[in-house]
A = this chain, B = another copy of it.
Amino acid sequence: MVKTMKISARNQIPGTIKMIKKGPVSTEVVIAVAGGNEIVSSITTTSAEHLKLKEGSKVYAVVKASEVMVAID
């Protein structure tokens, strides 16, 4: 049902799902990535179900460049 495609989003970081917290509309997905970092995503619960996401799934955290801010200490 979900199409396979190549997307313009510049950031596609590979990782493994560590935790999923499902709400009625929104679901939080915590992805373990390289360097001991975590990336947290909030998507619709319907999306999480379409992709059959579960703990241990190999995934990519995908982010459009215009959504990334830069910070310094």
Question: Interface residues, chain A, CB within 8 Å of chain B?
Answer: 2-14, 21-29, 31, 33-44, 46-48, 50-51, 53, 57-73
Contact = CB atoms under 8 A, between A and B. Distances in A.
Q: How many copies does the complex hold?
A: 6
Contact of A8 (B8, B39, B65, B71): B71
A70 B10 CA distance: 11
A70 B65 contact: no
Contact of A35 (B31, B33, B73): B33
Nearest to A33: B35
- Identify the 5 closest CB pairs spanning chains A and B, nearest first: A34-B35, A23-B25, A41-B68, A67-B67, A10-B40
Contacts of A72: 5-6, 51, 53, 57-60
